Amino acid sequence: ETLAKLQRPIIWTLHDMWAFTGGCLYTQDCEGYLNSCGKCPQLNSNNSWDLSRWVWQRKKRAWKNLDLTIVTPSSWLADCARSSSLFKDLRIEFILNGIDTQVYKPFAKDLARKILNLPLNKHLILFGSLKATSDPRKGFPLLKKALQELTKSETSDNLELIVLGASQPESDSQLELKTHYLGTLRDDLSLALVYSAADVFVLPSVQDNLPNTILEAIACGTPCVAFKIGGMPDMIDHQKDGYLVQPYQTEDLAKGISWLLGDEERYQTISHLVREKAEKQFTLEIQANRYLAICEEIAQLRKLNKQKA
C-alpha cells in the first residue's frame, strides 16, 4: 500500500513467490495463486476465505494502480509470475543475478584445502546453504539417500562430505561419509576458498529460485549437481557444464556426482567451462546493463506519454 505513494514507475525484483501468492514464499505443489488462494495447505486450512485469501485480496487492491515492471532472476519464477492471477497482465522481465567474479574465483585446490584443514587426497563433495540441514526445502534428506547409493558403487574411503551452513549435530549416524561441518561463513573470501576446495557442489533443493550458492560455485570453477527445478536450468547445462538431476530421484543424484568425479579429464574441462560461463554470463556488469536498459526504456516511454498528454 505504501508503494502507491511514490507515484513513479516501479521495477520490482522478485526473489521468491511471495508478491503474487496469499503469503507463502514457495507454493510447493499448491496452485492457488493461479486464482485467488484460499484453502491454504501451508495453513492446514479448508476454508476458502482463510488468511491466504485475505492477504491475496489485500495485494490485489494494493497492486491494482501501480505502474509495475516485474524482474525475476530465473525463467521459472518469470513463468510463475506470468501465470499468476495478480501479475498476469504486467510486464515481466528475466534478468540473471550477477556475481563479483573478482571475489568469487578459483583458488588452487591444495592451497584452499590446507587453509581449511581439509584432506588433500580425497574427493570432497560440498553441500551448503542457510539452514542447510534443517530447512526441508534444501533437500538434505535426499542428499543422505544419494550418498547411501553412492557408497554402493564408489570406494567410500575416497569420498568425504563438506557441509556449509550448519554445525555438527550430536549424532552423524545416518551419514555414510566422513563429514566436515564448517558452520556459517560470512565473508566472501572464506566462501570462495570452500568452493575451490571442493570437487563438486551439490544442492538438492526441492524448490528454489536462483540460489547464489550455485553461482558462487560456478564462479570458483566448481561443477554443480542439482535437481532440474526452479532456476537451476538457467545456470547448469546438463552434462555440458554440470548435471541436472531428474526431480527428487536420489539414484540419479548419486549418478550425477559419480559422473562428475569419475573422469578426471572431463572434470577438468567442465571446471574450466563453468568459470568461463561465469565470466561471460553472470557478471555484475551484465546484470547492471540489463537493468539500465529497462530503466531507459521506461523513462523514454514515460516521456512520450507526457508529450502526448
Name all domains of the chain by residue range, CATH numbers in brackets. 2-98+285-308 (no CATH), 109-281 (3.40.50.2000)
User: Considering only CA atoms, which of 118, 52, 99 is closest in space to residue 284?
Assistant: 99
Residue ranges of E strands in 155-271: 159-164, 178-183, 200-203, 224-227, 242-245
As given in the structure block, the three cell numbers for residue 168 are: 555438527
pLDDT in tens, 100-139: 999 999 999 999 999 999 999 999 999 998 888 888 889 9
State residue 131's pLDDT score: 82
Going by pLDDT thresholds of 50, 70 and 90, the confidence category of residue 3 is confident
Furthest-apart CA atoms within the chain: distance in Å: 74
State residue 171's pLDDT score: 59
Q: What is the mean pLDDT of residues 274-300?
A: 97
Q: What is the mean pLDDT of residues 181-188?
A: 92
Residue 234 has pLDDT above 70, yes or no: yes
Residues 6+ apart with CB under 8 A from 171: none
pLDDT, greater one: 129 or 13:
13
CB neighbourhood size of 206 (10 A): 17
pLDDT, greater one: 188 or 65:
188
